[in-house]
Amino acid sequence: MSNKRLFLLAGLVLLILIAWWAAGSMLMPLGGEGSHIVQIPKGASAGRISRILAERKVIRSAIGFDLLARIKGKSAELKPGAYRLSASMPPGEIMDKIVKGDICAKWVTIPEGFTVRQIAERLAAQGLANEERFLYLASNGRDFDVGFPHGDNLEGYLFPDTYLIPLGVSEETIIRQMLDDFAKKAVGCISSGRADMSLDKVIILASMIEREAKAPKDRPLVSAVLRNRLRIGMRLECDATVLYALGRHKSRVLNSDLEVDSPYNTYRYAGLPPGAIANPGLDCIKAAMNPAKVDYLYYVARPDGSHIFTRTLAEHQHAKEIARRGSH
């Protein structure tokens, strides 16, 4: 073998050794004490997950981790969620944990307009809370000191949002997390908006708008109708408050339902109900503070969920006929 070939062979062996050493180095534990909660978002590719792990300083090399996932055929098996990871863990062990979905927290979304009961049911279904314990605390919430006034009933103050909830935390911790979110987002919105109502009245009104107005464009108009009625002492006659008083959802409110004897029945009792009937989002809170400048006193729902707004009882009766014909 010529000297040139020997030289090329030695160089190739050296390159292989360097590559082997580099790959091995990239897949060594980074090292360090303590652990980190690392959030892997939904839909993240193996490459993005590798970069997140490197940025959070739990692996040495994003390239090395991505390469390992490809070699093992695990790139498409990495699951989203929140993981407790340590820089002392080998990258292969970290990968196995993410492939198994061995999470330490869950994402849960609370939609706008959910009641406390619906929130409790969703948390229980996710294995994050005891439903009855959550309901008990939410109806005896005066002891939660979060920097804004509220009574025992926390309906309206558990802010609808997407939360990362650690597994095994108490129902008290979850409620406090939601109240803190309300304080940051809703209270800030109301304070900056110079509301002409107290916070509790804004939330009550916003909760009614949330449950009544399915079309976003209708929210300021529903707000105007309710405010106009309040101003002249006219009963609000809001179907959503009747359903809340009944304690169950129905697609249609019957005349017999309007007889329920509850302070939440705005067909029988004047003024706002004593508390919120749902947990409103920011859009409905803004609508409660900024009603449309119209003189409507009535609205009726069309089959598609939008509303017809009118000024007089005669116009309202006509609008009801139009809505009824549209449902056939």
Task: Give the type of residue at 31.
Answer: G
Q: What is the pLDDT of residues 170-228, one digit of tens each?
A: 999 999 999 999 999 998 888 776 668 889 999 999 999 999 999 999 999 999 999 99
Backbone dihedral region for residue 45 (phi beyond 0: left; psi -120 to 50: alpha; all else: beta): beta
pLDDT at residue 34, rounded to an integer = 67
Strands (E), the chain: 36-40, 81-85, 105-109, 162-166, 298-301, 307-310
pLDDT at residue 138, rounded to an integer = 94
| For the chain, percent of residues with pLDDT exceeding 90 | 63
- 10-residue averages of pLDDT along the chain (328 residues): 56 43 57 78 92 92 91 93 90 93 90 97 95 95 77 91 90 94 88 78 96 95 98 96 88 82 95 96 95 96 92 94 77
**Exposed/middle/buried for 14, CB within 10 Å: 0-12, 13-18, 19+?**
exposed
Q: What is the pLDDT of residues 41-71, one digit of tens each?
A: 888 999 999 999 999 989 988 998 999 999 9
pLDDT at residue 35, rounded to an integer = 78
pLDDT at residue 155, rounded to an integer = 95
Quickly list DSSP for 178-222. HHHHHIIIIIHHHHHTT-SS-HHHHHHHHHHHHHH--SGGGHHHH
Selection from 140, 148, 147, 258 nearest residue 203 by Cα: 148
Q: Which domains does the chain have, with CATH numbers?
A: 28-103 (3.30.1490.480), 106-191 (no CATH), 194-326 (no CATH)
pLDDT at residue 194, rounded to an integer = 66
pLDDT at residue 327, rounded to an integer = 60
CA atoms of 293 and 184, how far apart (whole Å): 29
pLDDT at residue 280, rounded to an integer = 97
pLDDT at residue 21, rounded to an integer = 40
Residue 302 makes CB contacts below 8 A (sequence gap 6+) with 308, 323, 326
Residue 136 makes CB contacts below 8 A (sequence gap 6+) with none
pLDDT at residue 28, rounded to an integer = 72
pLDDT at residue 36, rounded to an integer = 79
